[in-house]
Amino acid sequence: MPETAAIAPAIVWFRDDLRLADHPALARAAKSGAPLVCVYVLDDLNPDIRTLGSASRWWLHRALQALDTALAEQGGSLLLLRGDETRAIAGLAESLGAGAVYWNRRYALAQRTVDAGLKASLRQRGLTVESAGGSLLFEPWEVQTGSGGPFRVYTPFWRAACKLGSVAPPLPAPAGLSFARLPAQLPMRATLEDLKLLPQPPEPDWAGGMRDAWTGGEAAATERLTHFLARGLHGYAEGRDRPDQPATSRLSPYLRFGEVSPRQAWHAVQAAEGSGREKFLAELGWREFCYSLLYHYPDLPTRNFRREFDDMPWRDDPAGVSAWQRGQTGYPLVDAGMRELWTTGWMHNRVRMVVASFLVKHLLVDWRVGEAWFWDTLVDADPASNVANWQWVAGCGADAAPYFRVFNPILQGTKFDPKGDYVRRWVPELAGLPAAVIHEPWKASAGQLSAAGVKLGRDYPEPIIVHEDGRKRALAAFATLTGKDSA
């Protein structure tokens, strides 16, 4: 009897979707019946694709490790390639004699350009190529104004999105996957260690605090979501602004790398009981809005959304930036946030707004400086949310009203960290100060400072700028933009 022809393998290209459940591309590939090759490509050569920051690379290492383990439990593995994405996937398809390639969509312009070009060239070679939406609740082109354009303000955007219909239910992880046998030699193949995502000697091991704070992978993401539903959802709307309380979901890095999907989070929260449901879902909506902005305004990462800010008189202040980065500004809430970031790769959202406002408004430093620092130090440095949120705080972004608002770090501290517990954790040199003065230690009496073992200027810095002086300077800078047109 004649031999049955072997079925050509199908490639599943994992990107920012490092999970098995609710993975449309994987589900479609599995349904095809073809043996699978699951692959991740680290492209740090394409100058148009932004290289991951250090903290994100650390997270990626653990996420890839967890995904490989999950695939191994079904008899497969995660193939790692390093180099230009187009060459890597095209070369892999040729080497394997693949019949199909599947992936979930990306939304930054450079990545969309890669995907479109690769899809066209592979289809010309006779391959089936399918892309799916697996990273958002709604595709950016689905949410439009009445005139058919993109929204520039969040509230009408989210109102329109919610009118599109119910969010599709998440897909289960496919079972019984079959995998193709890989040849011993493949171009651009790498091991996880070859990718050098972790701190490399002689570089110091700066990731100890992150290892203590986080566990990566799909299983950890599911556990984190379950914990939030049980412990954090009730009261989320009020508690989420309190950095002294464990009231946030801490799902952001898992969403960033797709270890949990927004559809999974959406439906899990919808099915739960708790007073914070609508607020949490609205936060998912803000993430959708940020991706809509990135898709429709592809220069968002580098250009002011409001073009009149191109004339903003930013200051060059290396000493101020360094003090801000090191958590040595003399403002305890700002310094606590920056030290939490450096240690854990994460910062409470309320504090992110305060520290960002301090840099761009008190110090009058270009928002792109702060955005780059966050990109390098955050484990959840998201290509859409990071830049959109920095522009929002700076006043030059979408929905940034009032754009001239200057957060008072003292009042923010007394309101959202009233007992000073957050400051005491991250600025331990001030731990002995009473709550009444911990957010403005320069007002502490000599006796209070002595009892706490604090000498300002020695143990903790004096403020690098007086709040009211910084506020006046920022407002004066904003006044120079009055009357200029925005694009």
Could you confirm whether 193 is annotated as catalytic? no
Please indicate if the annotation marks 157 as binding a ligand. no
Residue 39 per-residue DSSP state: E
Q: How far apart are CA 247 and CA 416, in angstroms?
A: 12
H helices, E strands: number in the chain? 20, 6
Please indicate if the annotation marks 249 as binding a ligand. yes
The one catalytic residue among 218, 259, 283, 288: 283
The one catalytic residue among 373, 390, 392, 426: 390
What DSSP letter does each residue of 384-431 carry, written as one string? Answer: THHHHHHHHHHT-STT--STT----HHHHHHHHSTT-HHHHHH-GGGT
The one catalytic residue among 46, 286, 308, 429: 286
The one catalytic residue among 367, 375, 392, 426: 367
The type of residue at 106 is R
Nearest to 135 by CA among 109, 161, 103: 103
Please indicate if the annotation marks 380 as binding a ligand. yes
The one catalytic residue among 46, 308, 314, 429: 314
Could you confirm whether 349 is annotated as catalytic? yes
What element of type H or E holds 268? helix 262-271
Cα distances (Å, whole numbers) of residue 36 to 71, 180, 375: 11, 5, 34
Could you confirm whether 314 is annotated as catalytic? yes
Please indicate if the annotation marks 381 as binding a ligand. yes
Could you confirm whether 286 is annotated as catalytic? yes
Could you confirm whether 288 is annotated as catalytic? no
> What is the CB-side half-sphere exposure of residue 279 using CA atoms within 13 A?
17
Please indicate if the annotation marks 305 as binding a ligand. no
The one catalytic residue among 139, 142, 308, 349: 349
Please indicate if the annotation marks 251 as binding a ligand. yes
Cα distances (Å, whole numbers) of residue 373 to 9, 353, 419: 42, 14, 29
Please indicate if the annotation marks 280 as binding a ligand. yes
Nearest to 195 by CA among 66, 365, 52, 404: 52
Q: How far apart are CA 306 and CA 64, in angstroms?
A: 38
| Active-site annotation, residues | 283, 286, 314, 349, 367, 390
**Residues contributing to the annotated binding site for FAD:** 236, 248-252, 280, 380-382
Known binding site: residues? 236, 248-252, 280, 380-382
